[in-house]
Amino acid sequence: MNFIKRNYGWMIVAVLAILPLFIIFGMFNIDFSNGLSINLIEGAGSEGRSTLEMLYHISGEFAIRWMTAVLTCTPFFILFGVNNLFVRQAMGIATAVWSILHFIIFIWGEGLLETFTQTNYIAGFIAVLILLPLLFTSNRKSMKRLKAKWKKLQSLAYVAIILSLLHVALLDKTWLIYAVIVGLGFIIRITPIKESIMAYRLQTKKI
């Protein structure tokens, strides 16, 4: 019970991150009758998309959703005083896993060389490269070993979100939603605004 109390937030994030994987798995046909054979199920897409296009959409959408969620943790703390470092780490892991999965699906469908043919692909590729070290250092041992350098390394997430927004912006219009959320988060982080909000929050607690 104590383990659940300490880690319930992390567990909720893990469940929310894993559940959409069942949608993706449902788009594949795995056959063991003649060795291992993995094929896409044709017609598994929706909204006029092919199955492969749907895989791109789902994996990419969840990658940027989790990335946006990670960057709202600090503004959420400023506004409401609620902070959980390990929940944020779980969100970061979910971001990296979904981003890597999105990239793997792209390579599988288009090939690695296609990554370098368009600006939006290159931006997404660099974002994935940035997320890799963040993924492997999102644990308590790395925090203790790297100390102050850990925060500097994790701050590269800001570069990753900017590149990811560029990646999405060049593909469709949904980037505006995430850009607005991230933009408001950065505004709340501005020192005078941050201090005013936190001072107001502390004052209301005393009343």
Partner residues linked to 33 by β-bridges: 35
Exposure of 115 by Cβ count < 10 A (0-12 exposed, 13-18 middle, 19+ buried)? middle
Do the beta carbons of residue 94 and residue 124 sit within 8 Å?
Answer: no
Query: What is the rounded average pLDDT of the residues 148-176?
Result: 82
Sorting pLDDT into bands at 50, 70 and 90, what band is 129?
very high
Strand ranges (E), 36-179? 37-40
Kindly tell me if the per-residue pLDDT of 139 is higher than 80: no
Closest to 162 measured CA to CA, from 141, 185, 146: 185
Kindly tell me if the per-residue pLDDT of 199 is higher than 70: yes
Query: What is the rounded average pLDDT of the residues 190-204?
Result: 85
Do the beta carbons of residue 130 and residue 91 sit within 8 Å?
Answer: no
Sorting pLDDT into bands at 50, 70 and 90, what band is 173?
low
Per-residue pLDDT tens over the stretch 16-54:
899 988 888 888 887 777 777 778 877 766 667 788 888
Q: What is the pLDDT of residue 181?
A: 87
pTM of the model: 0.85
Q: 3-state class of 7 per DSSP?
A: helix
Per-residue pLDDT tens over the stretch 79-114:
887 777 778 888 888 999 999 999 999 998 888 899
Q: For residue 33, give the DSSP letter.
A: B
CB atoms within 10 A of CB 143: 15
Token pair for residue 48? 């006029």
